[in-house]
Structure 1
Amino acid sequence: MKLQDALFNWLQISIVAEARPEDRAAAETKAFFEVILREDHHLTQFGYTADDHVYRVQYKTAEEQRTQQFDRESAEQLLEDIRSNPKYNE
């Protein structure tokens, strides 16, 4: 999996896990992507911030610190899909 895809997937599930702290599957999926970021891409730190338009994922490798931006609407789409599906809101 490419780094940008792994970061985006981690961001989306992090947003879900934060909004739904009781959702064990979201927490487990977030942990899965954190393993991918650490082991496959050798990231030592990662986190995100948001404003009205974008999410910024800051991450660090042994050599450098970088930032990747993602459109806010795209990043929050998984959460919106979950919220709009009655199956997941019982």
Structure 2
Amino acid sequence: MKSLRDNLYNWLTIKAVADFRKEDEAAQQTADLFYEMLTVDFKLENIEVTKDDSFYIVTYVHEEEAQKATFPIELIEVMLEQMKEEPHKFKNYPSEDKNG
């Protein structure tokens, strides 16, 4: 099993993409999957994310104890920045239109 920190990193990275590309269903589903791993596998509760000038700060409750983890913005947003710089390399997967 991966570490909690690895899972937080993976979730934050795809969450940054999903927040930017709200219509990208694949990104949304992947962010949801990693969030589910945090809540089910690692049993985290009350997960909240804030961002200051340099870091993403994740606060959460684990085994009834408030905890936090910090990640440099450039580490979390590296994939997002690549997508912004070269959008032609990153196909968007919107939900299928049910009307046709």
Q: Same fold (TM over 0.5)?
A: yes
Instruction: Give the unaligned 5+ runs of structure 2.
Output: 93-100
Which fold has the larger relative contact order, with Cα–Cα distance below 8 Å and residues 6 or more apart in sequence?
2
Distance 1:73 1:64 in 2: 28
What number of residue pairs does the alignment pair up?
A: 90
CA contact (8 A) 1:46 1:57 kept: yes
Distance 1:42 1:59 in 2: 10
Instruction: Give the unaligned 5+ runs of structure 1.
Output: none
TM-score normalised by length of structure 2: 0.82
Deviations along 1:27-46, one digit per CA (max 9) or x if unpaired, are 00001101110111001221
Q: In terms of Rg, which structure is larger?
A: 2
Letter of the 2:38 partner, please give it: L
Runs of 4 or more, structure 1, over 3 Å off, are: none
**Aligned-pair distance for 1:89?**
5.8
Structure with greater proportional helix content: 1
Q: Which residue of 2 aligns with 1:88?
A: 90
CA contact (8 A) 1:45 1:61 kept: no
**Aligned-pair distance for 1:87?**
2.6
Letter of the 1:87 partner, please give it: K
CA RMSD of aligned residues (A): 1.4
TM-score normalised by length of structure 1: 0.90
SS of 2:36's equivalent in the other structure is helix
Letter of the 1:29 partner, please give it: T
Q: Which residue of 2 aligns with 1:12?
A: 13
